[in-house]
Structure 1
Amino acid sequence: MQIKSSLDNLLTPTAIALGNFDGIHRGHLEVIKPVLELDDPDCYKTVVTFDPHPQEFFTGQQRQLITPQPEKAMILEQLGIQQLVLLPFDRELVKLSPQEFVTQILNNRLQSKFVSVGEDFRFGNQRAGAAADLVQLTADVDITTKIAPLEQNGESRISSSRIRAALLAADLQLTKTLLGRYYSIVGTVINGQEIGRSIGFPTANLKYPPEKFLPRQGVYCVRVDTATQQQLPGVMNIGKRPTVNGVNTTIEVHLLDWDGNLYEQQLTIYLHQFLRSEQKFPDLTALTNQIQADCDTARVFFQIQSSQNI
């Protein structure tokens, strides 16, 4: 998949799904699906999103993302998208009227033949344009636009804010339902203090994007994809390690019944079950006993999960 951070040297003409797509949840998938299903071999299947996120641009504060750009690109490539365009969200773009956005961006630069957006999509200066306006404006330049209805779960729509709330509550089942997949964290293994190794539970310390939205701090049952192996069961801790006077938030993963060197490898960690909140223990012996109990609980969980073919 091609990743473009400007409107230069694009693969054109395009069929595009247009939106922020933070999380690429089930609602987003309904917007992307028409592009994937479009029967036009001459159009490059493209996702166009905004960089930075519009809320980050207007507030000046870094927004925590469910899917930072590298993770978003990985998921889109797996779906079959051929090109990801990170449309620079800057003052020039903000000034464009809805009609100018269609003419200058969608028609002239992206050379779009087909556009898919969600029902709540807004565009143009001061968000003046709605999805229905996009249908009319694109028709004037021979672009077909499809509006995807909002995807519901229960009585509420699926949204990135609902997913964030579920993650902060460590409700991983709801998170999976809204996303359509297990929540994941992608990062690179770096050197740590090796405290885990000294007490018999070696851990992989993960360097993750600073803009990554993290769930509730605590201990989780996880499955891990490494560079060479997939779906390895493990136990992950997200937190500040109060027992050893930690200060910064860290992510550490212990793979069950596995031995090897993971340094500098990229790991994809899928969160399956929340075990407990992080807590401070009186000493390393108490911590070691609790980690052993966590690993035993995780083994039982994965045995049950495997028997149920989840």
Structure 2
Amino acid sequence: METVHSIFDFTPTHETYVTIGTFDGVHIGHQKIVKDLVKQAHDNNKKSALLTFFPHPRMVLQKEASIELINTIDERKKLLEATGLDYLIIHPFSKEFSRLTALDFVRDILVNQLNVSKLIIGYDHHFGKNREGNIEQLTEYSHIYNFEVQEIPAQDIDTVAVSSTKIRRALKEGALKTANNYLGYHFTIKGKVVDGKKIGHTIGFPTANIEVKEDYKLIPKAGVYVVKSSIDSKTFYGMMNIGNRPTLNGSHQTIEVNYFDFSEDLYNQTIEIELLYFLREEEKFNSLEALADQLKRDKLASLEFINNNM
């Protein structure tokens, strides 16, 4: 897969089959759409291309809005690469770009820049200035500019299995199993290991404190999770706490991972954490001893889950 960071840097050698969207989560519904796009393109000697935008349009047009996405742009790129896509075009969204009329978008972007032969798009897709363009206009323009439009029907868009919104809600509610089933893979958090207060060392559960640099990355419900990571090409399991550390009177959210059977220094390394199972809610304990006792029970429960499921 070739990644292009602006529509205007894209110089296709073939006609393209194109789809457009945020594709946040690249969940099982998205995967089905993209793989169908890839198959159709290759069957007809065309190239498959997915056009997405970053920053997310709402980050630009509604700066006061708090936006949380399932994937960072790098995570989305990695997931899309696995679909066999020929081109991923990540265009920098701007207010200027948002002012393109529907006609300008079709003529200048889809036809002249992307060399579109077929556009595969959702039935409710809107585009152009003030979202004035819709599937009916696309169909009209397709006759003028000689490309085909394939509409993704409502039943493929609106089912639970293909809803990014419902996945975000599940993650926020601690329904990790549901979210992972809809995604078709384990939800991940990626971040840099930074200095912490090292309280975990004193009670026998040293943790790696994770700092996620992307402020738009969705962080799931506070609580304790069973997790795994690949470190130096080896798989390590552990448990992760997301929360404010109420036992220590914490005032801000932290992400801390305790890996089992692991003693290396991870400071300053960037690690990716797969969330496997939501173990319990975050709790406040009366003492560090009570917290340590609970962590021992958490470890046993985590190992039981790992032994039975992994």
Q: TM-score, length-normalised on structure 2?
A: 0.88
Match of 2:210 in 1: 206
Q: How does 1:127-142 map to 2 (within 5 A)?
A: 127-142=131-146
Q: Does 1:33 align with 2:55?
A: no
Q: Is the 8 A contact 2:35 2:83 kept in 1?
A: no
Q: Report the equivalent of 1:303.
A: 307
Which of the residues 96, 99, 102 maps onto 1:98? 102
RMSD: 2.4
Residues 43, 125 of structure 1: CA spacing in aligned structure 2 closer, same or farther, 3 A cutoff? same
Deviates more, 1:132-141 or 1:241-250: 132-141
Taking only the aligned residue pairs, the percentage that are identical comes to 33
For 1:255 and 1:184, locate their aligned partners in 2 and report how far apart those are by CA, in whole Å.
Answer: 16
Partners of 2:278 and 2:222 in 1: CA distance: 10
By how many angstroms is 1:299 displaced? Answer: 0.4
Give the Å deviation of 1:233.
1.7
Q: Which residue pairs with 1:58 in the alignment?
A: 61
Q: Determine the C-alpha separation between the residues in 2 that align with 1:11 and 1:258.
A: 48
Q: How many residues align?
A: 305
Q: Secondary structure at the match of 1:30?
A: helix
* CA distance in structure 1 between the aligned counterparts of 2:294 and 2:129, rounded to whole angstroms: 55
Q: Once the 2 structures are TM-superposed, how far is the Cα of residue 35 of structure 1 from its aligned partner? A: 2.6
Q: Which runs of 5+ in 2 are unaligned?
A: none
Instruction: Kindly indicate whether the alpha-carbon contact (under 8 Å) linking 1:115 and 1:145 is maintained by their aligned counterparts in 2.
Output: yes
1:48-197 to 2 correspondences below 5 Å: 48-61=51-64, 62-150=66-154, 156=160, 158-197=162-201
- Structure 1 residue 103, shift from structure 2 partner: 0.5
- Matched with 2:225 is 220
Is the CA contact 2:186–2:276 (under 8 Å) kept in the aligned structure 1?
Answer: yes
TM-score normalised according to structure 1 size:
0.88
Distance change (3 Å), C-alpha of 1:234 and 1:131: farther
Judge which range, 44-53 or 271-280, deviates more.
Answer: 44-53
Determine the C-alpha separation between the residues in 1 that align with 2:290 and 2:246.
Answer: 13
Shift of 1:32: 1.4
How far does the alpha carbon of each residue in 1:187-227 deviate from its partner, in whole angstroms, 9 at most, with x for none? 22223222222322121221212211111101011122334
Q: Which amino acid aligns with 2:276?
A: H
Task: Mark the CA change 1:207 to 1:242 in structure 2 (over 3 Å): closer, same or farther.
Answer: same
Tell me which moved more, 207-216 or 291-300.
207-216
